[in-house]
Structure 1
Amino acid sequence: MTKIAVLVGSLRKDSINRKFAGALEKLAAGQMEFVFADLANLPHYNEDLWDNVPESVTQLKAVIENADAVLIVTPEYSRTYPGVIKDAVDWATRPWGKNSWAGKPLAITGTSPGAIGTAIAQNHLRTTMVAVGTAVMGQPELYYSYKPEHFGANGDIVDEATKTYLESWIGSFAGWIANTGR
């Protein structure tokens, strides 16, 4: 089974992006195993901390390195992705010569209540992730406008059209992973 490192850029307990990531995990069951990286204890990037590297950093790097691919589920704050994602990107690229992202197939998505989902944040993040050496899936893009009525009490997607679309997107992600040689 394909192992996916999942980074959710919202730390809030009732995060809609965490719910969305959980719904994608359920839809991907049987073909992908989601391993969620813990970003809650990740410090801001600080080169000085390599002298006594925080355990949260080594855990993040291990989750990424042990995965076949990465999925980032990002909210959009102030028309970009949140700082916790930027810190995760920076920690995982270092130290020099030990870039955990290098060559990893990667997909980006996210949700917000707004009409364009997290389109601007995803665009900014896509640029960053290309620069750090991931193989970013360009199409199809997934900008999900969050609708609570699409989710059941257990987190399943209950709207059939949405479920069908998201299953198709997961299939595209699986194809992307397979086609990047992993």
Structure 2
Amino acid sequence: MAKPKIGVIVGSNSKTSINKQLAHGLVNLVQDQADFEFLDLSALPLYNRDDDADAYPAAFTAFKDKVRGKDGILLVTPEHNRSVPAYLKNALDGASRPYGSGAWSGIPAAVIGTSTGGPASAMAQQHLRNIIVFLDMPTMAQPEGFIRWTDGLVSADGKVAEASEKFLRNYMDHFLAWVAKHPKQ
């Protein structure tokens, strides 16, 4: 069987995003088991349903083509005001439209995220799970990944600290098994 193609979506547009650092650390743990591509959200315009009929943005069309080419999607999200960042929600909404031509349906997904606070990104992850279930993405339930960020969790070269490596490797192993068990429809 060929290596699965995994799209990695980071819900932050910050240049110093700790979630982007976490995502790179996760990918580095299992980079030999799948082909990973970070899907860039920065070119996506603000979604407006008025554009669905005549002027659907080319940037969303290109993004949807990339999403459709993936066997799984790993969503790594921060938490903004106890919910999903607008940056991420915009990508999910825009690539689900126009109605009937969404890109997400049937692609297995996993949700994880980090924050410096105690509950990590638990509320954002729960909201994100509600959204992607509606988008018809089979979503890995366990293990959950509410990661409290600490300095040194992921090094500058993307290596996960030894204290967290076992848990995060297990998370990624479960995700890749989830993708294999739920082939994209």
- TM-score computed with the length of structure 1 as normaliser: 0.94
Helix, strand or coil: the match of 1:72?
A: strand
Shift of 1:173: 0.3
- Larger proportion of helix: 1
Counterparts of residues 56-75 of structure 1 (less than 5 Å): 56-75=59-78
Which residue in 2 is equivalent to 1:85?
88
Structure 1 residue 126 and structure 2 residue 121: aligned? Answer: no
The answer to which structure, 1 or 2, has the higher relative contact order (CA under 8 A, 6+ apart) is: 2
Aligned partner letter, 2:92:
V
Root mean square deviation, CA, Å:
1.2
Counterparts of residues 13-32 of structure 1 (less than 5 Å): 13-32=15-34
Question: What is the CA–CA distance in structure 2 between the aligned matches of 1:61 and 1:82, rounded to whole Å?
Answer: 20
Sequence identity of aligned pairs in percent?
38
Q: Is the 8 A contact 1:35 1:63 kept in 2?
A: no
Shift of 1:52: 2.7
Counterparts of residues 163-182 of structure 1 (less than 5 Å): 163-182=165-184
Question: What is the CA–CA distance in structure 2 between the aligned matches of 1:23 and 1:59, rounded to whole Å?
Answer: 27
Question: What is the CA–CA distance in structure 1 between the aligned matches of 2:14 and 2:137, rounded to whole Å?
Answer: 27
Q: Which has the larger displacement, 145-154 or 129-138?
A: 145-154
Shift of 1:94: 1.3
The alignment covers a number of residue pairs equal to: 181
The CA deviation string for residues 120-166 of structure 1, in whole angstroms up to 9 with x for no partner, is 10001101110111101111110110112222231211x21301111
